[in-house]
Amino acid sequence: MAEGAFVKKIEDLQDESAQLLTGRATVPALEEILYHPFPLLDHGFVRVVDYMGDDNAIVQAARVSYGRGTKKSTQDKALIAYLMRHRHTTPFEMCEIKFHVKMPIFVARQWLRHRTASVNEYSARYSILSKEFYVPSLEHLAPQSSINNQGREGALSSAEAARVLDILRSDAQSAYAHYEEMMNAREDGSVIDENRTGIARELARMNLSLNFYTEFYWKIDLHNLLHFISLRADSHAQYEIRVYAEEMARIVEKWTPFAHEAFTNYRMNATTLSGGAWQVVQRMLRGEKVSQEDSGLGAREWRELMEQIEK
């Protein structure tokens, strides 16, 4: 849906925050983008509407002390790296952030599998959804992957891609026309036919497809946000949710740069091996030739290990 339902409130918040003085920790780089929507996909966006804490809040929690103390920033950076490296999670929970996000419903259903946040979603029982639906660009249309039941690979012919896009658009337009017809109401809430009674919005919405847009506020602590990013910004994640996770990672870099650097080093660019995989690597380092058949690993784990080694 259009930003309309939220815009006035966001602008009011922005005006109010500009007039307030605060004694709490603030991050200038994040203040600069507060309330600013970063466009994603064809109608989506993500923006920060509030936050609490910074890198210093993480080290304060780890040291169980108050104020900035006498530690140098280099020591703070090293401590945060240590905490990340050794998986000390609670200090990162001392930072929280609230996003306003807008995405296709099928992306939202994936997103809300992450149950470690507070969520308040736009209600299609209360309001009429806008006529906004997601249609992928040509380069993001692909056949089903032959090795990953959750993914896609390869490319469609230009003719087949054009046919798919036409189906997506026509189905969504038809579904929305029937949605309005069943409610006897247009997108702006006006009545279509004064002589007819429409069904309730909560019933009419079931006719809409998963590519229609929804939006919600999403509040989460830094530890769980980084976990979300580690899964959804991964190269194997679905493109349509990955673009959101990647944008959020850039926001985290502005918000908590030391934590972001440690996260990138010890999570995103790191490799975790099973005991069996580590034994295979040790054998290879000793000069042994190891095949999948004598590695003790299953075919999938062997393939993943080879991908990691070849990076």
| Helix runs in the chain, H state only | 4-19, 28-31, 55-63, 73-85, 105-111, 158-183, 201-204, 222-232, 239-255, 257-263, 275-285, 299-310
Q: What's the angle, vertex CA 236, arms to CA 269 and CA 239, rounded to 5?
A: 115
Q: How far apart are CA 36 and CA 48, in angstroms?
A: 7
Q: Could you count the other beta carbons within 10 Å of the beta carbon of residue 218?
A: 24
Q: How far apart are CA 207 and CA 185, in angstroms?
A: 15
Are 99 and 248 contacting, i.e. CB atoms less than 8 angstroms apart? yes
Q: How far apart are CA 56 and CA 51, in angstroms?
A: 14
Tokens representing 92?
A: 């990162």
What is the distance, to the nearest Å, from the Cα of residue 259 to the centroid of all Cα atoms in its chain? 18
Active-site residue, 250 included: no
Backbone angles phi, psi at 66, to 5 degrees: -120, 155
Are 295 and 302 contacting, i.e. CB atoms less than 8 angstroms apart? yes
Considering 47, 201, 232, 242, which one is annotated as catalytic? 232
103 forms beta bridges with 214
Closest CA to 6 of 248, 214, 251, 255: 214
Tokens representing 110?
A: 């994936």
Q: How far apart are CA 250 and CA 256, in angstroms?
A: 10
Task: Enumerate the active-site residues.
Answer: 232
